[in-house]
A and B are shown apart, each in its own frame.
Chain A
Amino acid sequence: MSKVGLIIHREYFTRVKKKSFLLMTLLGPILMAMLLIAVFWLGMKESNERFVLVIDENQGVLGELQNSDGITYDYQNINFKDAQRLFNESNYTDILYIPPNITKFDAASLLFKKQPSATVLRAIEWRLEEKVEELKLIERNISKTHFYEIKTSISIKPSKFTKAGESKEIVEEASAVGFVFGLMIYMFIFMYGVQVMRGVIEEKSNRIVEVIISSVKPFELMIGKIIGVGLVSFTQFLLWVFLTIILFTGLQFALFSDVFEAANVMSQMQMTPEMMQGMTTEMKLAQESGNPDNLINKIPWGNALTMFGFYFLGGYLLYSALFAAVGAAVDSETDTQQFMLPITMPLIFAYMISIFIVQNPDGPAAFWFSIIPFTSPIVMMVRFLASGEGGVPIWEIVLSMALLIVGFVFTTWIAAKIYRTGILMYGKKPSYKELWKWLSYKG
């Protein structure tokens, strides 16, 4: 085995054999699953039970709202001010105040003790809209049937028209998947970059480093460590994916079978005009794309995974070399703050800017930050999926990838110079000026 091979071997196996690695690998997906279950469970358990006091100032022309979705409407003929005074002692959860002439102003107000969820609020709004519409229809003497026949809701399906002349549909989920991929790249660069840094500090503070670099070149030690830790991150990632799939398949059968069934029943149900009316355009779109088929079929998984692999690797190599340089420059982890900042800033920035890039994946910000190597691993990943297949021109992807390669060769070169000098320097924390001088030392 070559010397770099030996180093990679050691770096990999000492980490993989650690109990903490095993724990993280097992607990990661379990924690994730538990989090999701908790969210589901809380969401399901969340009581939509509301007892709403309705004060209607329209002298009964509106008719009473129908109880539904756990919301009970109770009509009382009292003054709004009195109601407010008694609200705290009463067992009402909310007061719905419908002002006079509702058909003119289309506005009502709701006082609550505990904030209602968006669903509850929507449900109340629907009920009220329904009544107000009915009233308006009567006022204008239009038949209800006609109204529903005429009422239109149009959904526009946006598709990108590519140079090749094909139109590509934009899939909302793809943006989310891109965002998740971006988040993972961000997380892994951070987690494992810091591990590289810790490893370097460990060797330095153990004073073993001089023994090792009398056998191998400092560059070999650094690159061996970076690759070794990188392989650990890949191992962990693959195990997480694998375990998550197993876990979710298991859970799907065990816990959520009824939920899935319910979802299926829902989607198979015929839509009545009333239901259609009750749904906003947004909702319809959401339901349409919420179809799990979209997630599986409409995302270019092959390309996405290839991109993910590349940017994951490129981003990791670029940043971990810098993390290694930081480790070499300091004596202990507490001294790292000063040098960490310029490394973590572009990473955090890339992640934050992704939020905007999801909205506008073809804008100038998306272009530049997906080309610049320090932000491209995260931004390009998000952009690629957000703008749909073929949305990002090939030349931009090629340029971004090429620059990322140039970028990590460059950071590795810089890092190697700082590393080589830094690992043998003890005692004092260097300034940026000194780091700059180290770059000019001869081997």
Chain B
Amino acid sequence: MEYLLQAENIVKKFATHVALDGVSISVPKGHIFGLLGPNGAGKTTLIRIINQITGPDSGSVLFDGQPLNSNHVADIGYLPEERGLYKKMKVGEQALYLAQLKGMSKSEAQNKLNHWFKKFEIEGWWNKKVEELSKGMQQKIQFIITVLHEPKLLILDEPFSGFDPINTNLIKQEILELKEKGSTIIFSTHNMSSVEEICDHIALINQSKKILDGPINEIRDAYSSNLFELQFKGNMIAFTNALWTGYELLEQEEKGGINKVKIKKISKQSTNNLLEAIIPHVEVVSLNEILPSMNDIFIEKVNEINQPQKEVI
């Protein structure tokens, strides 16, 4: 797999605490990479290092195979968690200014802005002062400014905070569209549910250490608890007999002639074996694997790490 960004063994200490302790992440090209962790885990510090806002005490960052340097500023778009705009400045003027700071020429920025303003149907905002806009409107402008220079790497720190559901959806669509066009996106959040929908890869950071990473499917498989939910029509006794020793019945429920059961796989049988065994006896309506949510994994993993410490105390 080709990586756009590789951070190796990053260490960053502050006066009173260690923000990052030997963290390495590899962000594959063209994917959405979720950077997860509770508040204060060190996500923002890592992002600031990637943005060259601050430097690591040790460790290295490669961008597109080269050591990170100031030329890469133009290839990165950053939407920080703490974000805002000059309140007294006009929207258009401000967007042009920030785009030029990213290295775009004025005319290029003007063209692209026209395109985005048309797309979001906000042409009328160009000459408004930022303070005249609602918070959600300001967030939209901010998003446009972040992606305007079509960066190779887009870093979004809690991008949905402050958006209403409609705009959240709009921005989500835009993020997916940017991915289609080939952008690589680092998506930092502590909100796990949004991760499952759009991320391909994740890294989980807790207390300044990376505790988990990989493609999201693999992680979920690794954390799968071998639980299945099965719905069928037919005789319950015949079904339990057919289950044999490969599965254990955990819960059962009948509703409107349909039996719903929760079973746990205890042998190495595949689900096909299970179906072969029960199809002769009952009519299968559905079979689903119960996968742990990222939220469950997150909590489990974090607790796993915090537990021993608690015992010591």
Q: Which residue of A lies closest to B50 (CB)?
A: A214
Interface contact B82-A215, CB-CB below 8 Å:
no
Q: Kindly specify which of B52-60, B168-176, B234-242 makes contact with the partner chain.
A: B52-60
Contact B54–A443 (Cβ < 8 Å): yes
A206 close to chain B: CB less than 8 A:
yes
Name the contact of B97 in the complex, choosing from A10, A213, A442 (C-beta under 8 A): A10
Assess whether B89 is in contact with A14, with CB atoms less than 8 Å apart.
yes
B101 touches A215 (CB 8 A): yes
What chain A residues lie within 8 Å of B15 (beta carbons)? 434, 437
Q: Which residues from 10 to 24 on chain A have a C-beta closer than 8 Å to any C-beta of chain B?
A: 10, 14
The answer to whether residues A208 and B86 also contact, given A3-B101, A437-B15 and a CB cut-off of 8 A, is yes
- Chain A's interface size range is 20 to 34
Q: Which residues of A contact B84 (CB under 8 A)?
A: 206-208, 211
Nearest chain B CB to A333's CB is how many angstroms away? 15
User: In terms of DSSP, what is the predominant structure of the interface of chain B?
Assistant: loop
Ranked nearest first, the 10 interchain pairs of A and B with the lowest CB-CB distance are A207-B84, A215-B101, A206-B84, A210-B80, A214-B78, A214-B51, A207-B82, A443-B55, A208-B84, A437-B15
Which of A206, A211, A217, A442 interacts with B80 by CB under 8 Å? A211
Interface positions, chain A 285-311, Cβ under 8 Å from B, are: none
Q: 0/1 per residue, B189-205, Cβ < 8 Å to A?
A: 00000000000000000
On whether the beta carbons of B55 and A210 are closer than 8 Å, the reply is no
Interface residues as binary, A196-217 with B (CB distance below 8 Å gives 1, 0 otherwise):
0000001100111011111111
Partner of A6, one of B14, B55, B101, B146: B101
Answer whether residue A1 sits at the interface, using C-beta atoms and an 8 A cutoff: yes
Known contacts A14-B89, A443-B55; is-contact A214 B76 (Cβ 8 Å): yes
Given A213-B53, A443-B55, residue A207 in contact with residue B101 (CB < 8 A): no
Chain B residues 29 to 60 lying within 8 A of chain A, measured CB to CB, are 48, 51-55, 57
> Are the C-beta atoms of A206 and B86 separated by less than 8 Å?
yes
Given A206-B85, A207-B83: A212 and B55 within 8 A (CB)? no
A214-B51, A215-B103 provided; 12 other pairs, C-beta below 8 A?
A14-B86, A206-B84, A207-B80, A207-B82, A207-B83, A208-B83, A208-B86, A211-B79, A211-B83, A213-B53, A215-B98, A217-B70
In the complex, A424 has a CB within 8 A of chain B: yes
Is B88's CB under 8 angstroms from A14's CB? yes
Q: How far is B98's CA from A214's CA once the two chains are assembled, in angstroms?
A: 11
27 A-B pairs (CB sep. < 8 Å): A1-B100, A3-B101, A6-B97, A14-B86, A14-B89, A202-B86, A203-B86, A206-B85, A207-B83, A207-B84, A208-B85, A210-B53, A210-B80, A211-B78, A211-B80, A211-B83, A211-B98, A211-B146, A213-B53, A214-B76, A214-B80, A215-B73, A215-B101, A215-B103, A216-B73, A424-B53, A442-B57
A residues within 8 A CB of B118? none
For A10, the chain B residues whose CB sits under 8 A away are 97
A 204-235 to B, binary, CB cutoff 8 A, 1 in contact else 0:
00111011111111100000000000000000
Chain B: minimal CB distance from A205 (Å): 8
List chain A residues, Cβ under 8 A from B54.
Answer: 424, 443
Bound CA–CA A268/B300 (angstroms): 102
A147 touches B (CB below 8 Å): no
Query: Which residue of chain B is the closest to A7 with respect to CB atoms?
Result: B101
A215 to B83, CA, bound (A): 14
- With most chain B CB atoms within 10 A of its CB, the pick from A10, A203, A210 is A210
Docked CA distance A217–B89 (Å): 22
Q: Does B152 contact A (CB under 8 A)?
A: no
How far, in angstroms, from A1 to B85 measured CA to CA in the complex? 22
Complex CA gap A328/B145 in Å reads 24
Interface residues on chain B, size class? 20 to 34
| B75-116 contact mask (Cβ, 8 Å, vs A): 1 or 0 | 010111011111111000000011011110000000000000
Q: Is A356 an interface residue (CB 8 A)?
A: no
Would you list which residues of chain A between 252 and 299 have a CB under 8 Å from chain B? none
Residue of A nearest to B149 (CB): A215
Cβ of A426 within 8 Å of any chain B Cβ, yes or no, is yes
B15 to A, closest residue via Cβ: A437
A207 to B146 alpha-carbon distance, docked (Å): 15
A212 touches B98 (CB 8 A): yes
Q: A437-B15, A442-B57, A443-B54 are in contact. Are A212 and B85 (CB under 8 A)?
A: no
Nearest B residue to A442 via CB reads: B55
Across the interface, which residues of A come within 8 angstroms of B80, CB to CB? 207, 210-211, 214
**Cα-based distance from A401 to B211 in the complex (angstroms):** 57
Q: Which residues of B contact A424 (CB under 8 A)?
A: 48, 53-54
CA distance in complex: A214, B156 (Å): 13
Q: How far is the CA of A424 from the CA of B78 in the complex (A)?
A: 15
| Shortest beta-carbon distance from B271 to chain A in Å | 48
* In the bound complex, CA of A218 to CA of B73 (Å): 13
A441 to B85, CA, bound (A): 28
Complex alpha-carbon distance, A74 and B219, angstroms: 112
Chain B residues near A206: list those with CB within 8 A. 84-87
Which chain A residues numbered 306 to 333 have a C-beta less than 8 Å away from chain B? none
Q: Please, which residues of chain B bring their CB within 8 A of the CB of A218? A: 53
Residue in B closest to A220 when the chains form the complex, CB atoms: B101
A403 CB to nearest B CB, Å: 32
A16 to B62, CA, bound (A): 43
How far, in angstroms, from A1 to B142 measured CA to CA in the complex?
A: 23
Whole-angstrom distance between the Cβ of A420 and the nearest chain B Cβ: 8
Residues of A within 8 A of B76 (CB): 214
Q: Across the interface, which residues of B come within 8 angstroms of A210, CB to CB? A: 53, 78, 80, 82-83
Question: Whose C-beta in chain B lies nearest to the C-beta of A437?
Answer: B15
| Cβ–Cβ contact A214 & B86, under 8 A | no
In the assembled complex, the CB of B155 is this many whole angstroms from the nearest CB of chain A, namely: 8
Q: State in angstroms the CA–CA spacing of A310 and B47 once bound together.
A: 43
Interface string of A390-428 (1 = CB under 8 A from B): 000000000000000000000000000000000010100
Please name all residues of chain B whose beta carbon is closer than 8 Å to the beta carbon of A207 when the two chains form the complex.
Answer: 80, 82-84
A216 partner, pick from B79, B86, B87, B101, beta carbons under 8 A: B101
Contacts of A442 in B (CB 8 A): 55, 57
Docked pose: A442 CA to B14 CA in angstroms: 10
Q: How far is the CA of A202 from the CA of B130 in the complex (A)?
A: 14
Expressed in whole angstroms, the Cα–Cα distance for A441 and B55 within the complex equals 10
> Given A6-B97, A215-B101, A426 and B82 touching (CB < 8 A)?
yes
How far is A203 from B86 in the complex, measured between Cα atoms in Å? Answer: 7
A115–chain B nearest beta-carbon distance, Å: 51
Complex Cα distance A14/B82, Å? 23
B residues less than 8 Å from A212 (CB atoms) = 98, 101
Question: Given the complex of chains A and B, what is the CA–CA distance between A214 and B146 in angstroms?
Answer: 11
